[in-house]
Amino acid sequence: MKLFGLGKAGGPGAGRLAGGQGDEDSLQLGAPARELPNAFVLESPVPVWTRTFAITSWPRGAGALWESLLASQVAFRVRFLAAPSGFKWGRGMETRLRRLMANVESVRESDRAAAARPEEVLAIQAIRRIRDALLYRGLRPVDIWCLITVESDSPANLAADCAAVTAALASRGIEAEPLTFDQSPAWAATLPTGDPQLRGIHGLKPRTGIVTAAARAVPADTGMGGDGCGVYVGHDAEGRRPVMLDFRRESDELNSNALVFGASGEGKSTWLKAVAVTGMLLDGWRVIVLDVDGEYRGVCEAAGGTWVDLSGVTGRYPDPCRFADPSGDPEEDAARFDRLLAGIDDVMSVMLGIEGPELELERAVVEQEAAALLASSGVTRDDPATWSNDRLPRDFTLRAVFDRIERRGAAGDTWARAAAQRLWRYFKGSLAGLFERPLPMDRMPGRLVVLYLGNPRASSAEEAAIGVKYQLAVRAVWEWLRQNKARGEWTAVVVDEAQRAMQHPVLAANVVDVATTIRKWRGSLFLATNAPADLWGSGWGERLWGNSLYKVIFALERDQVDALARRVNLPPGVAQAIASQTGMKRAVIRDGGRGWIQVRLSLPDEELELYRTRRVHPGVPTEELARAEGDARGLRAGG
Ligand SMILES: Nc1ncnc2c1ncn2[C@@H]1O[C@H](COP(=O)(O)OP(=O)(O)O)[C@@H](O)[C@H]1O
Ligand SMILES: [Mg+2]
């Protein structure tokens, strides 16, 4: 909705609030105007200084707004803006309501003398009223904005008047947020409609209306309870205030990753599921989980996500023989053909399992044969119009590329023969079962995807095969990051059990790459480990720490605390807290700007239950799991 077609005020000291001549949409002003970061000056015969506030919260019952404004004895203008709302009651609101209720309950139980925080109780009431109105009374939601413009004749008077207004509002529990940008449009938005040819702000007739009628326009409830800016990460252990962290930080170039440290059983996975999965989804993000244990299955199902089982037994693997969907970024998209070839080449390189000049020559064979296969159905590097999955040869698979390499080798080509021999096990030998079912992953299948990777330390026979799958999975993740970014979406990547995931060279290298570049893709990485000292041992600690705006540290054993304190700057009190919060499910959180704070997630029982670790193979220890997977393959091959 275009309120006023205001021309841009050309910055401080210059500019006119005017559109083109004869443009009916525009507001024509005779007087020059100046826009300052937090005020707007209309240089009419008497300069008018204005500042506009948006009301961000008020208690039930709007009479207080008028009373406090009138009591403050300043000149002001109020404008309500209303529009039909797209708000729907859904799982997200249900979750928020349950969390709030659980927290209020837990305060009552833990300390009968302590009242629950009033704003949380109010938020619960507000959410329930909204729910009842929408679900049971069939009412329609409406979005309402309330802007208040204070006007004065000098900067000094403006400052005093604004202080009087905010104090008067605050005394009635109404919060008003000063607008710091776009003061001129904000100011204009508070003008009454119907007089686009404004002849000076003091020439306006006062509007006579009935206060109660206007008051009815004020929504009785605002704020959805802790839905401020960011994602709920726990309650402050001292103040019992909900703590929200902002992972978007649009203005920030820094990687806003979160590193999560803590001994086993201290609550890392619960935190990741509640914050990095549920919280980020509620905040509108897309979420990709790299799950080595299968323990994200429950939360994946509950959140309506897509579970992709890439573990050893299934024979499934992300298909590299497909074009990724275009992302909309011309430079990225110009490389789609090359990325397709490189994807096939990457996978085959891991299968070849060698290094040095030989690898280079055999890789060339792989790419030549893949390109030749593509060319056979007219898909060529030179013609981007042919880069579509519909045009791919029907049998364009890793196996088909291998068959061509094998034939070329049989025809006498030395490098093709060598490559075919090295690749043989994956296509005709014992590992063929691992690559039977290509999964198209050229676009992210939904808002939440859990890639169940299986155990990174399976038997050595499978090690290379597992590396191949990881490589493929990681390529899919990179493509999704690209595509989500192009759609203007934000993506969180979650890696739990990093002490194991990072033992795999393919995962480790890629996770560190994601950590250092994910900002470019509008994303955040969440990485949790129970052995932070190992990260420094393997040389990644510095890069992960340096690229993580947020550090979340649950209780750690003494030696881990000491090792960590040697590498990074932990204030003594923080090191002490980390060592002493054992068993309390508390974490100290370092927020880039705000310093350290101790928090604990307060979640309803049913949500906690949902996050409780339920492995895909309950109770089977890792070695046995690997053996079972081997057996399953044997059975299938035999039967
Ligand atoms: N904030 C919390 N409130 C209540 N129980 C919690 C909380 N955080 C974790 N737990 C419980 O503690 C146990 C261990 O948590 P988990 O997240 O699996 O730890 P970790 O991943 O660090 O090993 C689980 O049973 C979980 O339900
Ligand atoms: Mg865990």
pLDDT > 50? residue 603: yes
What are residue 261's DSSP bridge partners?
529, 553
**DSSP-based three-state secondary structure for 430:** coil
Our answer on whether the CB atom of 273 is closer than 6 Å to any ligand 1 atom is no
Q: How far is the CA of 282 from the centre of ligand 2 (A)?
A: 22
Give the span between the Cα atoms of 206 and 430, in whole angstroms: 87
Classify residue 378: in a domain, yes or no: yes
**Which residue stretches of 328-437 are H helix?**
330-334, 336-352, 357-375, 398-410, 414-427
pLDDT at 41: 83
Q: How far apart are CA 495 and CA 503, in angstroms?
A: 13
Work out the pLDDT band at 10, boundaries 50, 70, 90.
very low
Listed ranges 101-110, 111-120, 277-286, 401-410; the one with the highest mean pLDDT:
401-410
Q: Is 268 in the pocket of ligand 1 (CB under 6 A)?
A: yes
Contact 327, 482 (CB under 8 A): yes
- Whether the CB of 298 sits within 6 Å of ligand 1: no
Here the CATH number for the domain that contains residue 145 is: 3.30.70
Q: What rounded mean pLDDT belongs to the chain?
A: 79
pLDDT of 609-637, one tens digit each?
999 876 554 444 444 444 444 444 433 33
Query: Atom 10 in ligand 1: which residue has the minimum CA distance?
Result: 267
Among 428, 429, 471, 476, CA closest to 450: 476
Which of 183-187, 211-215, 537-541, 588-592 bottoms out in mean pLDDT, i.e. has the lowest? 211-215
Instruction: Tabulate helix, strand, coil % of the chain (nearest 5).
Output: 45, 15, 40
Domain CATH code at residue 408 = 1.10.8.730
One domain, residues 359 and 372: yes
Is the C-beta atom of 612 inside 6 A of ligand 1? Answer: yes
Which residue minimizes the CA distance to atom 27 of ligand 1?
A: 612
Residue 557: inside a domain: yes
Nearest CA to ligand 1 atom 16: 267
* Pocket lining: 266 vs ligand 1, CB cutoff 6 Å: yes
**Residue 112's pLDDT is what?**
55
Domain stops at, among 410, 439, 468:
439
Nearest by Cα to 528 from 556, 568, 559, 570: 556
The alpha carbon of 362 is separated from its chain's Cα centroid by a whole number of angstroms, namely 40
**Does ligand 1 lie within 6 Å of residue 234's CB atom?**
no
Cα–Cα distance measured from residue 104 to residue 96, given in angstroms and rounded to the nearest whole number: 12
Which range scores top for mean pLDDT: 15-29, 36-50, 131-145?
Answer: 36-50
- 310-360 pLDDT, tens digit per residue, is 887 677 888 899 998 888 888 888 999 999 999 899 889 888 988 888 889
73 with 95, same domain: the answer is no
pLDDT of 59 higher than 70: no
The 8-class DSSP code of residue 276 comes to I
Clarify whether residues 153 and 52 are in a common domain. yes
Is the Cβ–Cβ distance between 224 and 100 less than 8 Å?
no
> Which residue CA neighbors atom 1 of ligand 1 most closely?
601
The single-letter code of the amino acid at 512 is: V
Tell whether ligand 1 has an atom less than 6 A from the beta carbon of residue 613: yes
Q: What's the mean pLDDT in 582-596?
A: 87
Q: Ligand 1 pocket, 608 CB below 6 A? A: yes
Q: Which of 107, 270, 295 to mutate to test the pocket of ligand 1 (most atoms within 8 A of CB)?
A: 270
Residue closest by Cα to atom 9 of ligand 1? 267
Same-domain pairing of 522 and 586: yes
pLDDT tens digits along 189-239: 677 653 333 332 233 233 333 333 334 444 444 444 434 568 889 988 876
- Look at residue 636 and tell me if it is in a domain: no
Helix axes 357-375, 414-427, angle to 10 degrees: 80
- Residue 449 scores a pLDDT above 90: yes
Q: Is the pLDDT of residue 21 over 50?
A: no
Do residues 125 and 146 both lie within one domain? no
- Closest atom, ligand 1, to C-alpha of 609: 27
Compute the distance between CA of residue 144 and CA of residue 378 in angstroms, rounded to an integer. 57
Q: Whose CA is nearest to atom 11 of ligand 1?
A: 267
Q: Determine the pLDDT at residue 31.
A: 47
Predicted pLDDT of residue 269: 97
Asked whether 297 lines ligand 1 (CB < 6 A), one says no
Q: Which of 109-118, 123-132, 392-401 has the lowest mean pLDDT?
A: 109-118
Contact 138/38 with Cβ under 8 angstroms? no
Mark whether 288 and 364 lie in a shared domain: no
Q: Provide the domain limits for residue 103.
A: 88-140
Domain assignment of residue 617, yes or no: no
- Backbone angles phi and psi of 260, in degrees to 5: -120, 115
Q: What is the pLDDT of residue 332?
A: 83
Q: Whose CA is nearest to atom 24 of ligand 1?
A: 612
On whether residue 7 sits in a domain, the answer given is no
Model pLDDT for residues 491-501, shown as the tens digit of each residue: 999 999 999 88
Q: Is residue 612 in some structural domain?
A: no
> What confidence score (pLDDT) does residue 62 get?
57
Percentage of residues in the chain having pLDDT higher than 90 = 38
Residue 247 has pLDDT above 80, yes or no: yes
- For the record, the structure tokens of 228 come out as 């401020």
Please give the pLDDT value at position 32: 58
Asked if residue 524 has pLDDT above 60, the reply is yes
Query: Hey, whose CA ends up nearest to atom 12 of ligand 1?
Result: 267
Ligand nearest to the CA of 495: 2
Closest residue to atom 25 of ligand 1, CA basis = 612
Q: Is the CB of 235 under 6 A from ligand 1?
A: no
270 lines ligand 1 (CB under 6 A): yes
628 assigned to some structural domain: no
Distance from Cα 275 to the centre of ligand 2, integer Å: 14
Do 573 and 474 belong to one domain?
A: yes
46 and 127 together in one domain: no
- pTM, entire model: 0.70
Query: From CA 518, how far away is CA 552, in angstroms rounded?
Result: 19
Question: Does residue 427 sit within a domain?
Answer: yes
Q: Three-state DSSP class for 613?
A: coil
Q: Which of 439, 462, 485 marks a domain boundary? A: 439
Ligand having the closest approach to the CA of 260: 1
Q: Which of 109, 240, 529, 585 to mutate to test the pocket of ligand 1 (most atoms within 8 A of CB)?
A: 585
Task: Tell me the sheet residues that pair with 502.
Answer: none
Q: Is residue 168 within 6 Å of ligand 1 at its C-beta? A: no
- The beta-strand segments (E) located in 247-312 are 258-261, 286-291, 306-309
What atom in ligand 1 is closest to the CA of residue 295? 18
Q: How far is the CA of 294 from the centre of ligand 2 (A)?
A: 11
78 with 206, same domain: the answer is yes
User: How high is the pLDDT of residue 621?
Assistant: 40
Q: Per the structure, how many domains does the chain have?
A: 4
Q: What is the pLDDT of residues 161-183, one digit of tens each?
A: 999 999 988 888 788 888 776 67
Ligand 1 pocket member 267 (CB < 6 A): yes
More reliable by pLDDT, 225 or 482? 482
Q: Please give the angle made by the CA atoms of 290, 291 and 295, to the nearest 5 degrees.
A: 150
Co-location of 482 and 511 in the same domain: yes
427 with 288, same domain: the answer is no
46, 190: one domain: yes
